[in-house]
C-alpha cells in the first residue's frame, strides 16, 4: 500500500528525531500531527502540552478527538525523550530519575493511550527504548531505568488484550547514539560514523507503514551503526 494520504502522529514532534519524521512524512504527502511542549511549524496539527501532571497532559490530549473526528491514524511514533547521567551517589540522582521518568515513561504511557483510541487496526506504534538499558547502566541510572520501563511496556502492549487495536504493530527502537545536533555539540570528538542517522529511522518507519520488512510484534530493535551503515538487530528475549 502507498503512504499517500496516510495520517501519522509524532509524539515529540519538535525534537531532533521528531522534526526529521515530520518532514519525511510530509514529503510523502501524509497528514502529520505533532505532540510536544512547543509547536512544529511544519506539522498539519499541533497539540501543545502545558500541564505538569501526567493526568493533566492526558486530559489535554483529548483535543485530538475533536481534530480527528473519528478518523484513525496509520501510525503513532513516540520519539520524545532525553538523557541524564549519574549514579546513586550523584547530587542530582533523584532529580535525574524524576526527569527521565517524565521524558521517557510519561510520554510512552500517553502515546499508548492515544494508540488505544486513535490507531487503526493494523497500524504501527513505535516507542523509543535504548540499547544500553538492556543491561545495567550504573553511570546513568535514571535513564536506564526509564528506558527499561519502556521495553517492558512494549512487551505488555504486544500481548493479547493489551488494549491496542487488532493486528497493530508495537515495537521499540533501541538506539545506541543518535546523530543529533545536540549530541554533536556535546561530543564533538566522538566517532560519528557509529552514530545512527535520523533519516535512516524515518525511512525505516515509512517502510513499516507500507508493510515493508515489518518486524515481529513486540520486538526491541537495536540500531547498530558502523562506518555510517546501520543494521537493525532484534534483542534476545
Confidence of residue 4 (pLDDT cuts 50, 70, 90): low
Beta bridge partners of 35: 11, 47
Give residue-wise pLDDT tens across range 94-121. 999 999 999 999 999 999 999 999 999 9
Asked if residue 155 belongs to a domain, the reply is yes
For residue 112, being part of any structural domain is answered with yes
Rounded mean pLDDT of 177-199?
Answer: 93
pLDDT of 2 over the 70 cut: no
User: At 24, is the pLDDT very low, low, confident or very high (cuts 50, 70, 90)?
Assistant: very high
| Residue at 58 is within a domain | yes
For residue 191, pLDDT beyond 60: yes
Domain residues for 142?
A: 7-176+201-221
From residue 134, how far is each of 25, 48, 217 by CA, in Å?
A: 30, 32, 18
Average pLDDT over residues 41-68: 97
223 and 232 Cβ atoms separated by less than 8 Å:
yes
165: left (phi over 0), alpha (psi -120 to 50) or beta: beta
How many CA atoms are closer than 13 Å to the CA of 23, on its beta-carbon side?
Answer: 10
Q: Does 229 map to a domain?
A: no
Confidence of residue 237 (pLDDT cuts 50, 70, 90): confident
User: Looking at the domain assignment, is residue 232 inside a domain?
Assistant: no
CB-CB neighbours of 38 under 10 Å: 12
Report the pLDDT averaged over residues 207-230.
96
Strands 31-36 and 7-11: parallel
Answer yes or no: is 182 within a domain. no
Residue 3's pLDDT band (cuts 50, 70, 90): very low
Question: Residue 184 falls within a domain, yes or no?
Answer: no
Per annotation, catalytic residue among 83, 143, 200, 205: 143
Asked, for residue 210, whether it belongs to a domain, the answer is yes
143 as an active site residue: the answer is yes
Could you give the number of structural domains in the chain? 1
CATH number at residue 211: 3.40.50.720
Q: Is the pTM of this model over 0.75?
A: yes
Mean residue pLDDT across the chain? 96
> All 3 cell numbers of residue 163?
488494549
Amino acid at each position: 500500500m502507498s503512504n499517500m494520504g496516510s495520517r501519522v502522529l509524532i509524539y515529540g514532534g519538535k525534537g531532533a528525531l521528531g522534526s526529521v519524521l515530520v518532514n519525511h512524512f510530509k514529503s510523502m504527502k501524509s497528514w502529520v500531527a505533532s505532540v510536544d511542549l512547543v509547536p512544529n511549524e511544519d506539522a498539519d496539527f499541533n497539540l501543545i502540552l502545558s500541564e505538569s501532571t501526567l493526568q493533566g497532559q492526558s486530559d489535554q490530549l483529548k483535543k485530538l478527538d475533536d481534530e480527528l473526528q473519528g478518523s484513525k491514524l496509520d501510525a503513532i511514533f513516540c520519539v520524545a525523550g532525553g538523557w541524564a547521567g549519574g549514579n546513586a551517589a550523584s547530587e542530582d540522582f533523584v532529580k535525574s530519575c524524576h526527569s527521565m521518568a517524565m521524558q521517557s515513561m510519561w510520554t510512552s504511557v500517553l502515546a499508548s493511550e492515544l494508540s488505544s483510541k486513535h490507531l487503526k487496526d493494523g497500524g504501527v506504534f513505535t516507542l523509543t527504548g535504548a540499547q544500553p538499558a538492556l543491561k545495567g547502566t550504573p553511570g546513568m541510572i535514571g535513564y536506564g531505568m526509564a528506558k527499561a520501563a519502556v521495553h517492558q511496556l512494549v512487551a505488555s502492549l504486544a500481548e493479547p488484550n493489551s488494549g491496542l487495536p487488532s493486528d497493530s504493530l508495537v515495537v521499540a527502537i533501541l538506539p545506541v547514539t543518535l546523530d543529533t545536533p545536540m549530541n554533536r555539540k556535546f561530543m564533538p570528538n566522538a566517532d560519528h560514523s557509529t552514530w545512527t542517522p535520523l533519516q535512516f529511522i524515518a525511512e525505516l518507519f515509512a517502510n513499516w507503514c507500507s508493510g515493508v520488512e515489518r518486524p515481529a510484534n513486540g520486538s526491541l530493535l537495536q540500531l547498530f551503526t558502523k562506518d555510517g551503515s546501520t543494521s537493525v538487530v532484534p534483542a534476545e528475549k
